[in-house]
Amino acid sequence: MRLRSAARIAPETSAMTRSKESIGLGARAELRVWYLGRLRPRLVEAVTAGIVRPGAVEKLDLQVADLFELAERRSGSPAQGA
């Protein structure tokens, strides 16, 4: 049985890490687009119709912003301050 050298394994591991990070960045961007483009406008309509309190939408906005900030800090994204 032949063992792989560490030099041969490292590039594969590095590629998997980069792939995982790019998937995470794509998923985060997709979630942000969905929230801002689909859910938030519907929440604003619900506020206008009196179904949802304005404060509830503002609170959710802050929670979602915190979620994205936390995820960016964990991934070390350069967009952290954005």
* Residue 3: predicted pLDDT: 54
Total domains, the chain: 1
Q: Evaluate if residue 81 carries a pLDDT over 50.
A: no
Claim: this prediction has a pTM higher than 0.85: no
| SS3 call for 56 | helix
* Residue 54: predicted pLDDT: 92
Which ranges constitute the DSSP H helices of 1-82? 6-34, 40-48, 54-75
Instruction: Specify if 11 maps to a domain.
Output: yes
Q: Which domain holds residue 71?
A: 6-81
Instruction: Specify if 1 maps to a domain.
Output: no
**Nearest to residue 65, comparing CAs of 23, 36, 24?**
36
Question: What gap in Å lies between CA 31 and CA 29, rounded to an integer?
Answer: 5
Instruction: Specify if 13 maps to a domain.
Output: yes
Instruction: Specify if 52 maps to a domain.
Output: yes
